[in-house]
Amino acid sequence: MRKETVGFIGLGIMGQAMAANVLKAGWPLLVWNRSPGPAEALAVKGALVAGSPRELARKVDVTICMLTGNEAVSEVLFGENGLAEVLGPGKTLLNMSTIAPALAEEFSARLAAKGADYLDCPVSGSKKPAEEGTLIVLAGGKADVVTTREPLLLSMAQKVIHCGPAGKGSLMKMTVNLLLSVMNAGLAEAVGFGAAGGLAVGTMLEVILSGPLSCGLFKLKAPMLEAGAFPAQFPLKHMAKDLKYVSDTAYAQKTPVPLALSALTLYTAGLAQGCGDEDFAAVAKVLGLLAGRE
């Protein structure tokens, strides 16, 4: 049985690594990216390059999108020259971008009306798991579509977790990112609090990483807090955007989220301080500023 053809749109830090893993797993791959550099890098590895998202979607069975934010995905799918135009029976769209749950539900309904399959399947994990193919896929959609697409998704991920119908993958991503935003800001606040009282940053991190609060996230952020330098793994502006989606969803659901909104204040201040392109651990700089340390 022939392997279906796959298209990949959006070759940023995450997308480039994910597309490379799809290729490595042996899927015939067509790619497209707004700026041409990353597509060429994949072409060297054997991918073909499409001239536009719509051309890509027309040529392949399964189109994967990995873009940033509601606007970008809406534009590529349903904007002028949007690829949804050429989707229909026999075509599948896997949206791995992080978007608002309500928008994922809308996309799913619009594609269903055209006879195409849609999976809402954002991922948990950042640059390194993307490179190693150890992401976790948070899938929302019909169970049979999830099952059919699992082999392809597992070329990029260690695990596919089916969260419910379309929109629920995005909601799960929001749930995880709510917690992520709070933990990251909590770490910065705790370390700032102790430092103000005279504790050494290294000693605090040693204590935290020795006990029941120790986790992969804190291991990644500890060197940043020690150095006071925040090269982006997950840019603060993306965390702020995701928290905004969380807050929109929480309001629509009538669910109070006090810690998430406290965190949103801090990340918004981070944007205002010009830290949007730094790692989201740079929220520590906002707390330092408030405390008069910087």
- Residues with Cβ within 8 Å of 147's Cβ and at least 6 positions away in sequence, in order, are none
In the chain, alpha helices (H): 13-24, 37-44, 53-59, 69-78, 101-113, 127-132, 143-154, 168-196, 201-210, 216-227, 236-253, 258-272, 283-290
CA distances from 241 to 77, 98, 126, 262, 268 (A): 20, 10, 16, 15, 9
Of the pair 112, 252, the CB lying nearest a second copy is at 252
Among 39, 163, 166, 281, binds a second copy (CB under 8 A): 163
Least distance to a second copy, CB of residue 260, Å:
7
Of the pair 96, 260, the CB lying nearest a second copy is at 260
Among 18, 31, 264, 282, binds a second copy (CB under 8 A): 264
Q: Determine contact, residues 104/95, Cβ cutoff 8 Å.
A: yes
Residue 173 annotated as catalytic: yes
216 binds a second copy (CB under 8 A): yes
Among the listed ranges 22-30, 32-40, 45-53, 238-246, the one in contact with a second copy (CB under 8 A) is: 238-246
Of the pair 57, 204, the CB lying nearest a second copy is at 204
Catalytic site residue from 173, 221, 237, 241: 173
# residues contacting a second copy (CB under 8 A) = 81
250 binds a second copy (CB under 8 A): yes
Q: Determine contact, residues 138/124, Cβ cutoff 8 Å.
A: yes
Among the listed ranges 9-17, 37-45, 79-87, 176-184, the one in contact with a second copy (CB under 8 A) is: 176-184
Catalytic residues: 173
